[in-house]
Amino acid sequence: MAAVAMPLFLHLFNLRQPQTVEFSSLAFVKELQESAVQRVRIKEWLLLALRMLAIACLVMAFAQPTLTGSLGGAVGTAPTTHVVVVDNSLSMAADGDGGSYFDQAVQHAQGVLDAVEEGDEVLLWPTARTEERRPAPIANADVARQALAELEPQAGGAPLAQALERAAQAASESDLPQTALYVASDFQASTLGDSLEAALPDDLPVQLLPVDTRRQSNVGIADVTVTSRIAEVGQPVQLEATLVNHGPDPLPDYVASVYLAGERVAQATTTLEPGLETTVSFTVTPQERGWLGGAVATEDDDFPADDRHHFTLHVPEERRVLRVRGEGQAPRYVDLALSSEMIADRIALRTTSIPEQDLASAELGQYDAVLLVGPRSLSSGEVEALARYVNRGGGLLLFPNAQARPDDYNALLGAVGAGSVRGFSGALGADRTVASFGRVDLAHPLFEGVFQQQRGDDEASVEQPDLHYTLNFRPSGQSGQSLIELSNGRPFLHEVRHGSGRLLLMAVAPTRAWSDLPVRGLFVPLLYRSVYYLSASTSVAGKQLVAGRPAELRVTGVAPAASLRLVGPEGLELRPEQRNLFGATLLILDTAPVTPGAYAVQDGATQVQRIAINSAPAESNLRSAPPATAAQTLQAATGASVQAVSEAGSTDLAEALRTRRAGVEIWNVFLALALGALLAEMGVARLWTPERASA
């Protein structure tokens, strides 16, 4: 660039000051117009500028300058770690105008790998991963290509902002001076980010590689709930499924079906409006015991990957019941109702009977329900044990004893927040009826199938026993409700919810001295349903987990030293971390399996529980965010510089990325400017002659 000064030096060297000589006959020369002299000076300075510009442009052309690459960094050609985030979430299985979303994303990722140069590293990061080992940067692009070919869409994809953060953390293990992050995705609007903060380094550029998408017609299943609290062979069980129409058009007469143990057992028809949730109810009748796998299925649509939502239903092999005989009581009607002759093979009850004196030493945690049949007294230790048992999910049924002290009962009722006993009404063995049934909460799960509705009547027919002697109970708090209320306003059958369990309080003892209920047809089904209800407090429906999300699972009824594992579809097996709790084992899943289906919790060859794993409901909403909107959302969520690559849809993505990395060469521009300056200099020197001043 020092050569640029040469024309200026020559110009200044030629500026010699002329010697003034006076001629009387040339006096008119002094009258030359000043404007003519100025034109000459302009020409000289213009020629000087053109010559200096030509030399400067020639120098710049030989220096081969480039515009800075859009990937940033210290040096465009410095060794770079290329982080390629490939969205392989479930939504990528949809088809777009340019093929399936996932196939397009793989093509974009291949374009990035083709732009990798010697000395670079590659980190391939799928949003949904089956392996627990975190990917690390590698120096071999062919290895990344092989890993890319093995990917496929699956459930359990992390929100995109979270995936970017985790990929950036993994890329920080590289020692290379530059990092560039690429994202090939459909940019599903519902899964771009979540409430968790995700932070990326300020100097890490993020390049979005969008795929071609289109509006999809899809119905998703947001949730499936087992509403019944009692599940028994041959007994109806109620289910509810929440359907969402994510498509643009209403769907009249839409059919959803329920499969239980592999067979379709129910279906329902409804109308689905666009963008709205609709709850559909089903009634199924299990025909076998144990942990049953089921699914709610929708009709075929543009996105079959979410057409099934799995659930599990527990019909206990047996219900373990502890019957405590109160002192001075003769619970022969309870014994008869729960006897093997009465139950036969229809009801799976295993009953253990102990006297009241043995209650303090009983292991209550071994039983699903405890029946206190007229205890005369309850010690403080027994009260504490019973309250703890209910709080942890146990079921307790309390029949009163006429010889009991109200303070003992009040201690137990107070421990579970129920209320208090205020004495008794009537007389034992009397013929006079002190009260009758008033309001009965027939909608309560305990009464499903107990009372038959007469044809033409809005309400079911409830049998009315003769009550001679009743316990006066006054409820308190918000955790209880009267299932059967007497005509005098006091509860006959009252439920109290405490912790994870429940307590049922009966206002009469199961003897003829209190009422004729034990010999009425109502007594046996009411007792059975009460036992069913209390023993099913935590075991009717198995837990439902979201694929790929962290979860914890509490398992009861196993030995502390048991080694538990999850066994899923197609032989998939997982051994999660486990911790021993009081009366249970806690399984800790850093990430739940990504394959939807029913999973068995196995203790050796014994199945102790069954759970369902489903994709996140947000995966069913296939609406994609425009690239500009996706860039703004991810930039706000991560704090990084995010921009969409407009050439992502072209066939030469690799060349476009090389240009973005190295920049655009502009030496030819400077060469053209130099030639133009030289031509202009020649034209000015030959063609422009300043006007002469007239004498």
**What's the rounded mean pLDDT across residues 172-187?**
90
**For the chain, first and last CA: distance in Å?**
45
Shared-domain flag, residues 248 and 340 = no
Q: In the sheet where 551-555 sits, what is the strand order? A: 551-555, 584-589, 577-581
pLDDT of residue 389: 93
Shared-domain flag, residues 212 and 228 = no
Kindly state the helix (H) or strand (E) to which residue 545 belongs, with its residue range.
Answer: strand 544-546
Shared-domain flag, residues 359 and 506 = yes
Q: Is residue 28 part of a domain?
A: no
Q: Which two tokens stand for residue 467?
A: 């009550």
pLDDT of residue 689: 66
The CA distances from residue 641 to 72, 90, 154, 178, 470, in Å, are: 10, 27, 29, 15, 75
Shared-domain flag, residues 263 and 356 = no
How far is Cα 318 from Cα 316, in angstroms, rounded to an integer? 5
Q: Which domain holds residue 469?
A: 319-535
User: Exposed, middle or buried: residue 347 (CB in 10 Å: 0-12, 13-18, 19+)?
Assistant: middle
pLDDT of residue 582: 75
Shared-domain flag, residues 506 and 383 = yes
Count of structural domains, the chain: 5
Angle between helices 380-391 and 406-415 (to 10 degrees): 30
pLDDT of residue 73: 41
Q: Is residue 421 part of a domain?
A: yes
Q: Is residue 574 part of a domain?
A: yes
**Amino acid at residue number 302:** D
- Assign 493 a pLDDT band (cuts: 50, 70, 90): very high
Identity of the highest mean pLDDT range in 427-431, 601-605, 665-669: 601-605
Q: Is residue 74 part of a domain?
A: no
pLDDT of residue 467: 93
Q: Is residue 617 part of a domain?
A: yes
Residue 661 clears pLDDT 70, i.e. is over it: no
Residue 354 clears pLDDT 70, i.e. is over it: yes
How far is Cα 221 from Cα 239, in angstroms, rounded to an integer? 13
Q: Is residue 251 part of a domain?
A: yes
Query: Among the three residues 588, 621, 654, which one is the final residue of a domain in this structure?
Result: 621
Shared-domain flag, residues 603 and 630 = no
How far is Cα 112 from Cα 119, in angstroms, rounded to an integer? 15
Residues in a beta bridge with 611 = 599
Report the SS3 class of residue 575.
coil
Residue 340 clears pLDDT 80, i.e. is over it: no
CATH number, residue 403: 3.40.50.880
Shared-domain flag, residues 294 and 332 = no
- Assign 347 a pLDDT band (cuts: 50, 70, 90): low
Report the SS3 class of residue 38.
helix
Q: How many CB atoms lie within 10 A of CB 426?
A: 18
How far is Cα 313 from Cα 269, in angstroms, rounded to an integer? 23
- The answer to whether the CB of 543 falls within 8 A of the CB of 589 is no
DSSP states of 92-150? GGSEETTEEHHHHHHHHHHHHHHT--TT-EEEEEESS-SSSSPP--BS-HHHHHHHHHT
Shared-domain flag, residues 293 and 332 = no
The CA distances from residue 319 to 172, 290, 356, in Å, are: 55, 12, 21
Q: Is residue 72 part of a domain?
A: no
Residue 403 clears pLDDT 70, i.e. is over it: yes
pLDDT of residue 598: 94
The alpha carbon of residue 24 and the mean position of all alpha carbons in its chain are separated, in whole angstroms, by 106
Q: What is the mean pLDDT of the chain?
A: 85
Overall residue count recorded for the chain in this entry? 695
Q: Which residue has the tokens 């109810």?
A: 281
The CA distances from residue 179 to 73, 81, 106, 688, in Å, are: 8, 5, 21, 57
Shared-domain flag, residues 427 and 511 = yes
Report the SS3 class of residue 476.
coil
Strands 606-614 and 597-603: antiparallel
Query: Among the three residues 268, 292, 316, which one is the final residue of a domain in this structure?
Result: 316
Shared-domain flag, residues 477 and 451 = yes
Shared-domain flag, residues 117 and 230 = no
**What's the rounded mean pLDDT across residues 60-81?**
66
CATH number, residue 177: 3.40.50.410
Q: Name the DSSP letter for residue 536.
A: T
Query: pTM, whole model, 2 decimals?
Result: 0.74
CATH number, residue 256: 2.60.40.10
pLDDT of residue 695: 47
Q: Which two tokens stand for residue 195?
A: 């409430």
Q: Is residue 22 part of a domain?
A: no
Q: Which two tokens stand for residue 174?
A: 């590289």
Report the SS3 class of residue 278.
strand
Query: Among the three residues 519, 535, 551, which one is the final residue of a domain in this structure?
Result: 535
The least confident of 120-129, 293-302, 563-572, 659-668 is: 659-668
Q: Which two tokens stand for residue 418?
A: 């129920």
Shared-domain flag, residues 530 and 580 = no
